[in-house]
Amino acid sequence: MTSRRRFLHGALSLSALAALGAAVTPALAQGPMSSAGNEVLRTRRIPSSREVLPVIGAGTSGSYETEIGSEKYALLKDAVKLFFTAGARLIDTSPNYNGADAVLGQLLFEGGWRERCFLATKIAADNREDAERQWAHSQRVLRTDHVELLQVHNLRAWRTQLPYARELKEQGRTRYVGITHFRPDGLEEMERIMRSEPLDFIQINYSVNAPQAAERVLPLARERGIGVIINRAFDDGRLFAVVRDRPLPAWAEKEAGITSWAQMFLKFAISHPAVTCVIPATSRPDRQVDNLRAGRGRLLSEARQRELISMFA
């Protein structure tokens, strides 16, 4: 994708990435490391438990929708290896992502990554019976009897599914529960739920061209002690079309170590103090490395965040 040609001042070839993966393999047992010096990923604490999470995670919608054993699956294996080698942990999926959860389960099994993974999935069903069947399916394809986070997908039947998620939490099947949405028109209802229901996490969209969550929902999350996962930080890739021929701002690298627009968009999201983690989705190892670099170095000042919002208004 030409809009990412600024990546690392010239995209790494897949052969170079394979060499990078081989080079870092001996360090896996020693924990997180960086491909740039000794700097590790920035972390934030989950408000309800104080557990630490790296600020860069991964989504699976689209990017993990493939056949096991395919060429794309082989690229995913390299991308996942780079993800965990860098110290990242949170991967988010859903039973509604056209088999992405099964692909993720197989990748975690083959790589032996399950214990490193903060695994987040969702309930996307209209009634309790369907939710129970769906949870059984999720355990089977994810190859696990528990997840770290179980979320009600896009507020779907949340009055039924949130109590069910809490039951599973009490049974030890999930450590955290939450709710999700992916559009600004879901923020009003999400705010009402946040005020009335105990939650560990919310997942929402937040980007330079869709910053509405910062008006009320993100401050409320800080006030209520709720963790925040950000989806659609690239607006489903549309932001890259906007910046296709646009240079980075002159201050980007000097002030925040930013060398690509992907890093800029991700760093914008994690620079809000309420945000726990952002989950860009990719199947490509080069883009995985680029995304991870957004989790290192200085964050953006409030003035720079406002500047970016005005640039994309």
pLDDT value of residue 313? 92
Share of the chain above pLDDT 70, in %: 88
Mean of pLDDT values over 6-25:
39
Predicted confidence (pLDDT) per residue in 128-153, tens digit: 999 999 999 999 999 999 999 999 99
Predicted confidence (pLDDT) per residue in 245-300, tens digit: 999 999 999 999 999 999 999 999 999 999 999 999 999 999 999 999 999 999 99
Q: Quick one: pLDDT band at residue 38, thresholds 50, 70, 90?
A: low
Mean of pLDDT values over 62-83:
97
pLDDT of residue 37 exceeding 90: no
Q: Quick one: pLDDT band at residue 32, thresholds 50, 70, 90?
A: very low
Domains for the chain: give ranges and CATH numbers.
52-311 (3.20.20.100)
Alpha helices in the chain (DSSP H): 14-24, 71-85, 100-111, 128-142, 158-170, 187-196, 217-224, 238-242, 252-256, 261-270, 285-293, 302-311
Predicted confidence (pLDDT) per residue in 111-133, tens digit: 999 999 999 999 999 999 999 99
Token look-up 């190892």 returns 285
What residues pair up with 43 in beta bridges, in sequence order?
A: 54
Helix, strand or coil, per DSSP, at residue 43: strand
pTM reported for the whole predicted model? 0.89
State how far Cα 211 lies from the chain centre.
17
pLDDT of residue 174 exceeding 90: yes
Helix, strand or coil, per DSSP, at residue 109: helix
Q: Of 23 and 192, which is predicted with more confidence?
A: 192
